């Protein structure tokens, strides 16, 4: 088993789960969004769990769709390798016809660090992976864009945008937001409204592999495979902008 194998596996699993989600979307249609959301969550989760159990039987797993007992399994805390997955990040957007800002997250945590990861954006026809990290876009100094939640943008981010001279861009899933930083659609993503490890593990793995800045909003390290999987805030940005954003956040919280 090589590190490259893990990069490739993360990418392959995210791709296949995304392909199945597109099929579920086509089969179920958009007439009953709750049913479509349930079918998508369940279908992608079952596929990823079965595939990982078969291909990496000695590794542990943490999924958004796992039961409480599975999430609290003490064996995960003792494991050296844990796959952290979000089978369908952006369930709301998945069930809205025409929206492409939803994703599949597959990440590998190994001995304290994110070792591999992939973010599939099935409706956009692309997958970002640690195996071949995207080249970060160049930042042309001046006004920049911050991705925020479509439904619950933190109030302080609006004040932050005013302070640092940025525009807010609503985007659906966390994976789609972080991917937008890596592809040049925005320059930063700031969130403080509450998240979990599976919301950011895979996109952060890819962002770090690409050379982007990724941290808590106080600048501290993002940590994964914790007993409590909540990870309430995050900052991902082009590296040139991180000092400005962190300083602005500090000013707002004084």
Binding-site positions read 64, 86, 88-89, 199
Q: Among all chains, which residue has been given the structure tokens 């000092």?
A: 243
User: CA nearest 61: which of 51, 76, 72?
Assistant: 76
Tokens for 109, please give them: 């945590």
User: Closest by alpha carbon to 247, among 188, 177, 163?
Assistant: 163
- Residue ranges at the known binding site for Mg(2+): 64, 86, 88-89, 199
DSSP conformation letters of 54-113? HHSTTSEEEETTS-HHHHT-HHHHH-SEEEEEEEEE-HHHHTSTT----EEEEEEEETTE
Q: Give the DSSP letter string of 194-210.
A: --BHHHHHHHHHHHHHH
């Amino acid at each position: 088993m090589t590190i490259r194998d893990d990069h490739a596996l993360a990418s392959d699993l995210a791709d296949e789960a995304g392909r199945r989600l597109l099929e579920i979307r086509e089969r179920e249609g958009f007439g009953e969004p709750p049913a479509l959301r349930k079918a998508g969550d369940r279908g992608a989760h079952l596929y990823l769990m079965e595939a990982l159990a078969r291909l990496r039987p000695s590794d542990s797993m943490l999924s958004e769709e796992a039961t409480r007992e599975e999430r609290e399994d003490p064996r995960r805390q003792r494991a050296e390798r844990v796959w952290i997955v979000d089978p369908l990040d952006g369930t709301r957007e998945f069930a809205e016809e025409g929206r492409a800002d939803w994703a599949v997250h597959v990440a590998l945590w190994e001995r304290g660090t994110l070792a591999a990861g992939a973010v599939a954006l099935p409706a956009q026809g692309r997958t970002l992976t640690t195996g071949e990290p995207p080249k970060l876009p160049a930042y042309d100094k001046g006004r920049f864009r911050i991705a925020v939640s479509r439904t619950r943008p933190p109030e302080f981010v609006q004040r932050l945008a005013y302070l640092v001279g940025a525009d807010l861009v609503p985007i659906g899933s966390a994976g789609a937001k972080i991917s937008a930083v890596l592809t040049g659609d925005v320059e930063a993503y700031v969130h403080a409204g509450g998240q979990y490890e599976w919301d950011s593990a895979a996109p952060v793995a890819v962002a770090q592999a690409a050379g982007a800045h990724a941290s808590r909003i106080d600048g501290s390290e993002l940590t994964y495979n914790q007993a409590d999987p909540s990870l309430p805030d995050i900052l991902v940005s082009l590296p040139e902008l991180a000092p400005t954003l962190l300083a602005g956040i500090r000013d707002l919280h004084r």
